[in-house]
Chains A and B, each alone.
Chain A
Amino acid sequence: DTAVSQTPKYLVTQMGNDKSIKCEQNLGHDTMYWYKQDSKKFLKIMFSYNNKELIINETVPNRFSPKSPDKAHLNLHINSLELGDSAVYFCASSQGVRARNYEQYFGPGTRLTVT
């Protein structure tokens, strides 16, 4: 069974569209994350939820909105897509946010291409 899964794996869309990426973890973890990896492979954290509460909200355009319906799911919705949003988006989860619980497990990534 896949520990952290993301859908879709590939997403090609036009500028101005709205799209969502879904993430699910079956590890029983309390904390989930969204990362953006650009073409230079730099990994940047975007958001983190702990027990459905937003705990990390980095400076990203407000066109990006995370939603956590429960501890096992963290979705990412992007409005009015722009060319610069093209990247690989990774979901991750960790047991929690206390000491020795920060080890993150990553999903396979969603490659978003905006044309």
Chain B
Amino acid sequence: DAGITQSPRHKVTETGTPVTLRCHQTENHRYMYWYRQDPGHGLRLIHYSYGVKDTDKGEVSDGYSVSRSKTEDFLLTLESATSSQTSVYFCAISEPNRQGNEQYFGPGTRLTVT
């Protein structure tokens, strides 16, 4: 298994509160991604990073921000959580020099916003 951990694994929070999810990798892969998984939608890309301090938006980035100050850590922040952000969040990593750029996924964080 790729060395990817996510914390916390479960979180319940109230509407309007800030939330930060952490993804940590031990593989030294350059690319890191945040997805959300919702029934009927599959996985949708929120943000991704292609290096330290280099990030870009994905398909569903509104209401989310990210930061990457070290190769191994990629943080996802919900500045003011809303009920529509209740979801399962997955982190993924990839090394673009490998043909196909396959991604490896973490175990996920289940976030409930009440």
Say if A and B assemble together: no
Residues of A participating in the B interface, judged by any CB pair closer than 8 Å = none
Binding site for A on B (CB under 8 A): none
